[in-house]
Amino acid sequence: MNPTAYRGRFAPSPTGALHFGSLLTAVASYLEARTQQGLWLVRMEDLDPPREIKGAAREILKTLEQFGFEWDGDVIYQSQQDSAYQDALQQLKNKQLTFACNCSRKHLNNTASRSSEGIIYPGTCRHKIDIPPPYTTRIIAPDQTFHFIDQLQGPQKQNLHHSLGDFIIRRRDQLFAYQLAVVVDDHLQSITHIVRGSDLLSSTARQIFLQTMLSYQTPEYTHLPVLTNAEGNKLSKQSHAQALDLTHANLHLYRCLTLLVQSPPTELTNASLHELWQWAFTHWQIKHVPAVAAIDLSQDTNNTIYY
């Protein structure tokens, strides 16, 4: 591969401050991009105003800067991308892959069968015509198994029809769904490599399907372990993950490198951020990251500062 062709990204949602779990993802995707002589882009996934916390986007960027991350180009905001999503939706409509659905969540909860992904949409509205707004827009899920190789988690496969059925690409409130937006933006930003948390592994087949239908390239995927608390919940705002305390920025970076099994030497425990980044740029090896879905942070003796 031409090393300059690597384009990675970090795509936080501004639903709260940057916490240790998202820092770990940022660190791994940044180090992988930089050690491949690649570019690293930041995209703010402010797609869902009702879930957004005012000021969080600015805070996240400030925190990234204070940690010493340097991104390439301007930050893209999903809230500014509506016409691109609209175009993609139109392309899918033109191919007769979409339909309007006015099934209520309650109706589906009561009638549809389930898989580990949740409700399997039973196709109720697929052949209905003239459904008046408001409605969700779904895409017809093919009865086909998608195979891909995750660079860390290994071979994966999923049949969309059997595991979730026709899925939503535009919500009833007219907001575009994450699955469509992320595919359009990864394409527009010419992303070649996606390094993100394993909680999104089960979204990947949907994204590959959409890329195929929109004639986009499929990037390489690497799904990192997510950090969990003692109850097995992913560190997140909902699980009370704390905002990162910047007075300990170097310690946080050191601990990320340790959890990613890069084995930084103990004498670097109190090293400056700059020294730690220099060490990491030289020693980063994605193959040392454990190929597991989750790392239980409650087993870690210093965990109280994270949640």
Binding site for ligand GLU (CB under 6 A): 11-13, 45, 182, 196, 200
Q: Nearest distance from residue 187's CB to ligand GLU, in Å?
A: 13
CB neighbourhood size of 265 (10 A): 9
Select 41 or 125, whichever has its Cβ closest to ligand GLU. 41
Q: Which residues of 214-246 are buried (b: 16+ CB within 10 A; e: fewer)?
A: bebebbbbbbbbbbbbeeebbbbbebebeebee
Quote the least distance from Cβ 109 to ligand GLU, whole Å.
Answer: 24
Nearer to ligand GLU, 9 or 252 (CB): 9
Nearer to ligand GLU, 22 or 36 (CB): 22
Which CB atom, from 226 or from 276, has the smaller least distance to ligand GLU?
A: 226
Residue among 78 and 137 whose Cβ is closer to ligand GLU: 78
Residues 6+ apart with CB under 8 A from 92: 98, 139, 169, 210, 213, 214
For ligand GLU, the closer CB: 17 or 200: 200
Minimum CB separation of residue 129 from ligand GLU in Å reads 34
Q: How far is the CB of 104 from ligand GLU (least distance, A)?
A: 27
Minimum distance of ligand GLU from residue 121's CB (angstroms): 22
> Please, what is the minimum distance in Å from the beta carbon of residue 24 to ligand GLU?
12
